[in-house]
């Protein structure tokens, strides 16, 4: 994992370093329902490539947010779950998700994205 060249300027800076990017928050959301295998995560995070999912999971594991458990069997079984730190990070992201849900129509309009169909 890449080392930072400068110290964090505030808590938001530190938090965004852990969860920044498009996929990590979505991976955390997918893991909020419980332990998942890789294939399940890939289905729960539509659009993510296998390579990107592997990379993001490794970074989250390195940061102590995700736990990876390997079962010694054939074929190999690997499961991912949130650590206690990951659960607390997910709780911190919940208000952001609520804001996004409440303002999704506006965001879709200004970004030129089709609103999701429910």
Residue-wise pLDDT for 18-34, tens only, equals 999 899 999 999 999 99
Cβ within 8 Å of residue 8, ≥6 positions away:
14, 17
Whether 41 is covered by a domain: the verdict is: yes
Number of domain units in the chain: 1
Q: Which residue has the tokens 């920044």?
A: 20
For 89, the domain range is: 11-111
Q: Which residue has the tokens 């069997």?
A: 73
Average pLDDT over residues 59-66: 97
CATH of the domain at 58: 1.10.10.10
Whether 24 is covered by a domain: the verdict is: yes
Distance of CA 4 to CAs 11, 24, 56, 96, Å? 15, 18, 17, 25
Q: What is the pLDDT of residue 24?
A: 97
Virtual torsion, Cα 105, 97, 14, 24, nearest 10 deg = -90
Whether 105 is covered by a domain: the verdict is: yes
Q: Which residues of 81-112 are buried (b: 16+ CB within 10 A; e: fewer)?
A: ebbeebeebbeebeeeeeeeeeeeeeeeeeee
The model carries a pTM of: 0.88
């Amino acid at each position: 994992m890449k080392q930072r060249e400068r110290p964090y300027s505030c808590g938001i800076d530190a938090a965004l370093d852990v969860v920044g990017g498009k996929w990590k928050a979505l991976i955390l959301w997918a893991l909020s329902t419980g332990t998942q295998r890789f294939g399940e995560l890939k289905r729960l995070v539509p659009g993510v490539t296998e390579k990107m999912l592997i990379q993001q999971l490794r970074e989250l594991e390195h940061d102590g947010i995700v736990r990876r458990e390997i079962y010694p069997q054939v074929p190999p079984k690997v499961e991912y779950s949130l650590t206690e730190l990951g659960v607390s990070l997910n709780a911190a992201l919940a208000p952001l998700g609520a804001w996004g849900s409440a303002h999704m129509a506006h965001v879709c309009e200004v970004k030129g994205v089709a609103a999701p169909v429910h």
